[in-house]
Amino acid sequence: ERMAAREPDADGQRGIIINTASIAAYDGQIGQVAYAASKAAVIGMTLPIARDLSGVGVRCVTIAPGLFRTQLLAGLPQKVQDELAATVPNPKRLGEPEEFAHLVQAIIENHMINGEVIRLDGALRMSP
């Protein structure tokens, strides 16, 4: 309601919702049913939310990241971090928080990105 009440910009835009899911929504691993299902639900809401809010000029986009250098991963032993990074095809490393932030900025600035899920994963496809 608060976004819908804002004054629109020159392009009729009033705001954007950017959700974070995970590539686990597509590549759910053994023992990760609940996690994969919850991320798939976020992805499944993206287009309907974008359509529902289109009349008030609010966009909805979801980012599905792969392996990123988060506090959780940073807490793992370096050997484990290196092994995880080696599974990413290109670039063969963990994603950096700044790369996630750059994508968020691009989504905000490009009004045509709407109702979309963007994988940010270096072409990683997780094994079962």
Task: Indicate the pTM of the whole model.
Answer: 0.93
For 19-58, the pLDDT digits (tens) are 999 999 999 899 999 999 999 999 999 999 999 999 999 9
Percent of the chain with pLDDT over 70: 100
**Which pLDDT does position 1 carry in this prediction?**
83
Catalytic site includes residue 26:
no
The catalytic residue among 14, 17, 18, 35 is 35
How far is Cα 104 from Cα 110, in angstroms, rounded to an integer? Answer: 10
Spatial strand order in the sheet of 15-20: 15-20, 58-65, 116-120
Q: Which amino acid is at 124?
A: L
